[in-house]
C-alpha cells in the first residue's frame, strides 16, 4: 500500500514528514534560542516556538502519491466501462474510480449521470422513456444499451483528433455494455487492483434506503474491504457505510469548500477528503493533512495543475489521464 491506508498508520508518516521538514527550522530555532539565552539568559518564548511550528509543512513524496483512473481511463475509453477500467489498470494507476447507481429491479450498476442519454443509446432504443433516468431501467434494459458508440461523436478530450484514439479503437467501443457493480469488482479483484467506489446520491430514488448497505454487502461478498475506498457527496451515506462495514474506508467528496473539513471528516469517520481541485487551496490541504487525513483531488488533467497540487501536499490524484499523472510524478506509465 503506497499511502496511509488507515488513520492509525497516518501519524507515523506525518511524524516522519514533520521531522524531515522541521529539521531546518529546528536547527534555526535552536541557534536562535542559544543566542537569546547567551544575550539575555532566557529560553525561547512560546511565541518564538509557535513561529517555528508554523513553518511545519506536510510534503507529498511523488513516489507515494496515489494515482486513480477517473471512471476508468476516461480520456481514452468510454467512461465507467470494464474496458475503461482495464485501460486504467494497464496505465499503471493504483486505483480506478467509478460511480455506483441502481437499476429499477435492484441491481447495483456503474453509471455517472442520472440520465442515460449522454453515454448510451437509451434515447434511440427506448424513445418513449423520457427522461431516461438510470434508476427507472431494469438491468436487462440497461444491458441492452450501447455504452461505447457515443465516444466517437463526442471526442470530449480531443483524443481522436489528436490521433491517440484510432478508428480501430472506435470500432472496438461499439456495443460496450453498462457494467454491474459486481462485474466492476470482479475485474478489479482479478487484476489484484484497487477501486474508489463513489456512491451516487440517490436521495428520492427507490434505492435510497438500501444502496449503501447493498454496496457494502457486495464489497464484502468479494472480500475486497481492504482494496476499496468508498466515497460520496452524500456524507450521510458514508456514515451509513461505516455503520454497515466499519472495516471499509470512506472518503468525503466535496465540490466547493466547506467551513470545517477536518471536523466533517471526524464526524463521518472518514480517512480522506476528496475535493474538487478547482476550488481547493494549499491551506486546506495542509490543515487536512496535518490532522492526519489523506486528500484525493479530482479531476486534474493538466500537468501544471498536478504539479501544483502535489506541491501543496495532496496524497492522491483522480484523473482522466492517469498516464500524465504518473509521468508528472516521475513514474513510468504502462502505456
Q: Pick from 94, 141, 198, 201: which binds ligand G3P (CB under 6 A)?
A: 198
The count of C-alpha atoms lying within 13 angstroms of the C-alpha of 262, restricted to the half-sphere facing its C-beta, is 12
83 binds Mg ion per the rule CB under 5 A:
no
> Catalytic: 70?
yes
How many residues sit in the footprint of ligand G3P (CB under 6 A)?
10
Residue 292 cell numbers, joined: 492526519
300 DSSP 8-state letter? -
Residue 298 binding partner per list ligand G3P, Mg ion, none, with a CB distance cut-off of 5 to 8 Å that depends on partner kind: ligand G3P
Q: Please say whether the beta carbons of 331 and 92 come within 8 A.
A: yes
Residue 119 cell numbers, joined: 453515454
Residue 109 cell numbers, joined: 450498476
Which residue minimizes CB distance to ligand G3P? Answer: 298
318 binds ligand G3P per the rule CB under 6 A:
yes
Question: Under rule CB under 6 A, which residues in 286-305 are in contact with ligand G3P?
Answer: 298
- Helix/strand/coil (H, E, C) string of 172-191? HHCCCCCCEHHHHHHHHHHC
> Catalytic: 235?
no
Q: Please say whether the beta carbons of 70 and 323 come within 8 A.
A: no
Residue 274 binding partner per list ligand G3P, Mg ion, none, with a CB distance cut-off of 5 to 8 Å that depends on partner kind: ligand G3P
Nearer to Mg ion, 198 or 320 (CB): 198
Residue 58 binding partner per list Mg ion, ligand G3P, none, with a CB distance cut-off of 5 to 8 Å that depends on partner kind: none
Question: Under rule CB under 5 A, which residues in 154-213 are in contact with Mg ion?
Answer: 198
Q: Please say whether the beta carbons of 303 and 277 come within 8 A.
A: no
Stretch that binds Mg ion, among 31-39, 91-99, 113-121, 153-161 (CB under 5 A): 91-99
320 binds Mg ion per the rule CB under 5 A:
no
74 binds ligand G3P per the rule CB under 6 A:
no
99 binds Mg ion per the rule CB under 5 A:
yes
Q: Which of 71, 87, 112, 235 is catalytic?
A: 112
Q: What's the rounded Cα separation, in Å, for the pair 215 and 82?
A: 18
112 binds ligand G3P per the rule CB under 6 A:
yes
231 binds ligand G3P per the rule CB under 6 A:
yes
94 binds ligand G3P per the rule CB under 6 A:
no
CB of 219 to ligand G3P, least distance (A): 16
Q: Which string of DSSP letters, residue by residue, matches 89-121?
A: HHHT-SEEEEEEEE-TTS-EEE-SSSBSTTTSS
Nearer to ligand G3P, 70 or 205 (CB): 70
Q: What's the rounded Cα separation, in Å, for the pair 128 and 148?
A: 22
H/E stretch holding 317: strand 316-319
Q: What's the rounded Cα separation, in Å, for the pair 234 and 210?
A: 14
CB of 201 to Mg ion, least distance (A): 11
Beta bridge partners of 316: 66, 296
CB of 262 to ligand G3P, least distance (A): 20
Phi-psi region of 132 (alpha: psi -120 to 50; beta: other; left: phi over 0): left
Q: Which of 4, 66, 69, 70 is catalytic?
A: 70
Q: Please say whether the beta carbons of 299 and 284 come within 8 A.
A: no
Nearest to 90 by CA among 80, 76, 101, 103: 76
CB of 84 to Mg ion, least distance (A): 13
Please give the residue ranges that form the binding site for ligand G3P (CB under 6 A).
70, 97, 99, 112, 198, 231, 253, 274, 298, 318
Return the active site residues: 70, 112
Please give the residue ranges that form the binding site for Mg ion (CB under 5 A).
99, 198
Amino acid at each position: 500500500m503506497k499511502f496511509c491506508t488507515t488513520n492509525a498508520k497516518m501519524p507515523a508518516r506525518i511524524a516522519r514528514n514533520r521531522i524531515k521538514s522541521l529539521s531546518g527550522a529546528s536547527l534555526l530555532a535552536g541557534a536562535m534560542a542559544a543566542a537569546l539565552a547567551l544575550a539575555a539568559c532566557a529560553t525561547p518564548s512560546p511565541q518564538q516556538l509557535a513561529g517555528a511550528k508554523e513553518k511545519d509543512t506536510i510534503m507529498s513524496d511523488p513516489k507515494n502519491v496515489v494515482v486513480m483512473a477517473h471512471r476508468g481511463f476516461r480520456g481514452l475509453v468510454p467512461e465507467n466501462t470494464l474496458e475503461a477500467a482495464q485501460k486504467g489498470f494497464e496505465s499503471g494507476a493504483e486505483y480506478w474510480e467509478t460511480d455506483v447507481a441502481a437499476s429499477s429491479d435492484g441491481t447495483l450498476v456503474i453509471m455517472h449521470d442520472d440520465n442515460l442519454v449522454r453515454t448510451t443509446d437509451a434515447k434511440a432504443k427506448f424513445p418513449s422513456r423520457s427522461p431516461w433516468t438510470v434508476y427507472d431501467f431494469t438491468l436487462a434494459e440497461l444491458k441492452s444499451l450501447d455504452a461505447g458508440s457515443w465516444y466517437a461523436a463526442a471526442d470530449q478530450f480531443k483524443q481522436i483528433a489528436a490521433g491517440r484514439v484510432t478508428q480501430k479503437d472506435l470500432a472496438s467501443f461499439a456495443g460496450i455494455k453498462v457494467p454491474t457493480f459486481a462485474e466492476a469488482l470482479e475485474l478489479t479483484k482479478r487484476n489484484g487492483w484497487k477501486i474508489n467506489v463513489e456512491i451516487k446520491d440517490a436521495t428520492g430514488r427507490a434505492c435510497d434506503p438500501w444502496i449503501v448497505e447493498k454496496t457494502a454487502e457486495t464489497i464484502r461478498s468479494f472480500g475486497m474491504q481492504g482494496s476499496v475506498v468508498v466515497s460520496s457527496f452524500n456524507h450521510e451515506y458514508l456514515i451509513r457505510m461505516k455503520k454497515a462495514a466499519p472495516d471499509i474506508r470512506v472518503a468525503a467528496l466535496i465540490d466547493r469548500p466547506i467551513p470545517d473539513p477536518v471536523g466533517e471528516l471526524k464526524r463521518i469517520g472518514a480517512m480522506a477528503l476528496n475535493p474538487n481541485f478547482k476550488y481547493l487551496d494549499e491551506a486546506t490541504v495542509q490543515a487536512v493533512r496535518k490532522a492526519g487525513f489523506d486528500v484525493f483531488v479530482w479531476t486534474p488533467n493538466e500537468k501544471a495543475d498536478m504539479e501544483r497540487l502535489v506541491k501543496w501536499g495532496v496524497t492522491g490524484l483522480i484523473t482522466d489521464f492517469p498516464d500524465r499523472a504518473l509521468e508528472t510524478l516521475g513514474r513510468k506509465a504502462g502505456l
